[in-house]
């Protein structure tokens, strides 16, 4: 199933004890509707405050309700900040996380103040140089060890960035990145450093230096979670 959610009032996607999470709310609702203990697998583990237009998840059920009927029933009991856009049957071996070929994320920055968008954009008082930010983003393209852009203490940090760039959408600056995998805080650390470049505090070439450095957490600062969106999962 493909879903959209507002992550403002959730402690991220993944189930955590005593915390309200998207996976937890969905699992409880599905278990109630199907009268089964449901195990839900998500394509991406979004952090607290991160939103999604196209999160994908899968589960197994013996319930014979048709997918579209189950989708409608599920939407009728879910809170208004989660909506199931599509639901369909898939082969029994399908795994929404491990079968994904790539994911697309967007990050939204507003150079100004908007109380109505405070949970959905990173708002900054600085004017940003979009050309410099786009120039710095191009260093990320290709297969790289992106250790400097994550806080994960260990493990493989190789990421194949398939597409990247900034664009203007009305009064917002929107960063879009497609990659075969995403590390913890990867996009937020990319954006945090590129905003510093846009302010003129660093040259665009610093992105190449950070990639070469391969030092965990070197690409400070980290952009806040609420400007980030999981847009699409590709299979």
Residues with active-site annotation: 47
Please say whether the beta carbons of 183 and 150 come within 8 A.
yes
Alpha-carbon gap, residue 128 to 151, rounded angstroms: 26
Closest CA to 196 of 223, 227, 165: 223
Residue whose pair of structure tokens reads 């990050």 in the numeric block: 107
Query: Which ranges of 3-154 does DSSP label H, i.e. alpha helix?
Result: 22-34, 67-77, 130-137
Q: Which long-range contacts link 59-66 to residues 24+ away (Cβ below 8 Å)?
A: 59/30, 60/92, 61/30, 61/34, 61/36, 62/34, 62/36, 63/33, 63/34, 63/35, 63/36, 65/33, 65/34
Q: Which letter, b or e, does each residue of 114-131 get, where b requires 16 or more Cβ atoms within 10 Å of its Cβ?
A: eeebebbbbbbeeebeee
Q: Which two tokens stand for residue 73?
A: 């029933």
Cross-strand bridge partners of residue 168: 173
Dihedral angle at the C-alpha atoms of 56, 61, 65, 68, nearest 10 degrees?
10
Q: Which two tokens stand for residue 51?
A: 């939103």
């Amino acid at each position: 199933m493909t879903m959209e959610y507002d992550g403002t009032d959730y402690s991220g996607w993944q189930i955590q004890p005593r915390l309200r999470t998207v996976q937890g709310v969905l699992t409880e609702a599905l278990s109630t509707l199907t009268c089964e203990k449901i195990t839900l697998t998500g394509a991406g583990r979004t952090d607290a405050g991160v939103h999604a237009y196209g999160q994908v998840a899968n589960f197994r059920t013996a319930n014979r309700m048709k997918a579209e009927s189950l989708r409608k029933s599920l939407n009728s009991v879910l809170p208004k900040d989660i909506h199931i856009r599509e639901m369909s049957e898939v082969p029994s071996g399908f795994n929404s996380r491990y079968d994904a070929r790539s994911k697309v994320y967007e990050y939204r920055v507003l150079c100004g103040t908007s109380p109505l968008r405070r949970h959905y954009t990173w708002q900054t008082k600085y004017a940003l140089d979009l050309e410099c930010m786009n120039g710095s983003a191009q260093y990320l393209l290709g297969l790289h060890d992106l250790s400097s852009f994550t806080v994960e203490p260990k493990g493989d940090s190789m990421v194949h960035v398939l597409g990247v760039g900034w664009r203007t959408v009305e009064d917002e600056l929107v960063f879009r990145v497609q990659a075969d995998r995403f590390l913890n805080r990867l996009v937020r650390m990319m954006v945090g450093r590129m905003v510093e470049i846009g302010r003129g505090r660093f040259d665009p070439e610093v992105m190449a230096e950070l990639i070469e450095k391969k030092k965990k957490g070197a690409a400070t600062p980290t952009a806040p979670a609420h400007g980030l969106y999981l847009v699409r999962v590709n299979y």
